[in-house]
Chain A
């Protein structure tokens, strides 16, 4: 009993300590969104402009982090396997063919969380540590 309790404490402590250390990228939607989960392919299709539709139906409103934010490169590499310049090429094709407008860029994780929380059709990505009760993490990326 004692031992189990102690193991639980250790596990809990590890989990707490581990969270920031292993922090990955979380793809988030509003807590009010009908979307319960997204696959990596879904996220890649949205952020490469292949579709604007959410798997649960409806049109997604995407948020991106600014070019200068290192999480951006990390997210695109993890979700799409493409480098920042390749992703720029993909979006320049969509933008300059007049077929799509790229995701709106925001400065910080906090700004993305706030914008996503406010809109049930929104999708964003932030550092996992920035996720709070107003949004739901629907995909965890390393």
Chain B
């Protein structure tokens, strides 16, 4: 485990190297930042709209808590082959607070002209835009489609990666392999914070860029431990009444989990097309097997770009594996299990427009028509008895770079 202390020591060492290298004219540093001021409202108080990992969200009343964020990044270049990057982001988190967290902090060393290794806290490159999903300015939408980006709520890991880029045909091929472990807090319905831990994380990704087309795909696998007070209570209760087998298949305690994704985007300056498919498969039924996809098309008219998105998400129904005898005291337990392992789904049609109002400022307006299942799809805080009626989400954001 790369603890905060180790990270701090690494950064301190890095800074020491930096000051030592000051005399060398190849040393340079650069600070850059990004941010979003957003406001979101829905037309329903039955469910809560959040970005993955957030406690608070939007309902009828509207809120700025979902998309508002600010981030800063420091890049230090020591020699042409050695550099360091640290990025911190403040956004509403699993405890509902705006506390800056170190999104990543790593050293990068260029082994050869084509091969680079990085070490430290790194962004988990699971998705097409995972490296810059919080940089609103760099993305066409108000927020990355939740049908895909809610599947695996993990942004970074501690470890290392190696990447190799080379000309291939008329394009550029990049191969990336990573290994490490991760831990990220998730909101819980109680006062406690749930936590997702991934050990023995390993992954491989391929990117191919040719002309205006970029394709990316790959997979990660790891042993996932998910702890929340609700899941803990459920597993304990199951064991207490002798359903050990059910307890084991639900519990996520080092459960082998894989996540694969495939996506691409095409941008010729006028037409923008982008889409992605991702699938999560876990040995734990609490995480289950789920898949998501989206397609976005946009067309630039000067400084304006209207766009449409169609997205879908489905989680497999595993409830047939859990049969409880019709004994009334077991009812709450059976319901608890069912709520966890039952299927879920959501489809969304979105319409939006981006306006490049200034060279580093973009304004976006987006309306989403969301059709979740009665389990609420990607929404949280689903009220009991929610029937899966459509929910409209209205968002306005200002994205900026500085």
Task: Report whether B359 and A93 are in contact in the complex, using a CB–CB cutoff of 8 Å.
Answer: no
The answer, among B30, B132, B303, B362, for a CB contact under 8 Å with A101, is B30
CB within 8 Å for A59 and B401 given contacts A85-B356, A101-B75: no
- Indicate with 1 or 0, residue by residue over A41-76, a CB within 8 angstroms of chain B CB atoms: 000010000111100011101000001000000000
Q: Are the C-beta atoms of A101 and B113 separated by less than 8 Å? A: no
Within 8 A of A (CB), among B158-184: 165, 167, 172
User: Is A114 on the interface with B (CB-CB < 8 A)?
Assistant: no
Given A85-B359, A85-B362; A96-B80 close (CB under 8 Å): no
Could you give, for residues 254-289 of chain B, a 1 whenever the CB lies within 8 Å of some chain A CB and a 0 otherwise?
000000000000011100000000000000000000
Q: Which of B101-126 contact A (CB under 8 A)?
A: 104, 106, 108, 110, 113-114, 118, 123
Task: Report whether over half of chain B's contact residues are helix, strand or loop; otherwise say mixed.
Answer: strand
Q: List 18 A-B contacts (CB under 8 A).
A: A52-B113, A53-B113, A53-B114, A59-B113, A81-B269, A85-B356, A85-B362, A86-B269, A88-B360, A88-B401, A89-B137, A92-B34, A92-B132, A93-B129, A93-B138, A96-B34, A101-B77, A101-B83
Bound Cα distance from A95 to B71, whole angstroms? 12
Point out the residues of chain B lying under 8 angstroms from A98, CB to CB. Answer: 73, 75, 85, 87, 104, 106, 108, 118, 123, 131
Per-residue CB contact flags for chain A residues 109-130 toward chain B (1 = under 8 Å, else 0) read 0000000000000000000000
6 closest pairs, A vs B, by CB?
A: A97-B131, A98-B85, A85-B356, A92-B138, A93-B138, A96-B135
- Closest-CB distance, B361 to chain A (whole angstroms): 9
Please tell me the number of chain B residues within 8 Å of chain A, measured between CB atoms: 39
The residue from A88, A101, A102 contacting B359, defined by CB atoms under 8 A apart:
A88
Residues in B lying within 8 Å of A, measured CB to CB = 28, 30, 32, 34, 71, 73, 75, 77, 80, 83, 85, 87, 104, 106, 108, 110, 113-114, 118, 123, 129, 131-132, 135, 137-138, 165, 167, 172, 209, 267-269, 303, 356, 359-360, 362, 401
Residue on B nearest A99 in the bound complex, by CB: B131
State the CA gap A97–B209 with chains docked (Å).
17
> Contact partner of A96 among B110, B138, B172, B209, CB < 8 A?
B138
Inter-chain CA distance A102–B267, complex, in Å, is 20
> Given contacts A92-B137, A96-B71, A98-B75, could you give 18 more A-B pairs where the C-beta distance is less than 8 Å?
A50-B172, A51-B172, A52-B113, A57-B113, A81-B269, A86-B267, A88-B401, A89-B138, A93-B131, A93-B132, A95-B32, A96-B32, A96-B73, A96-B132, A96-B135, A98-B108, A98-B123, A101-B30
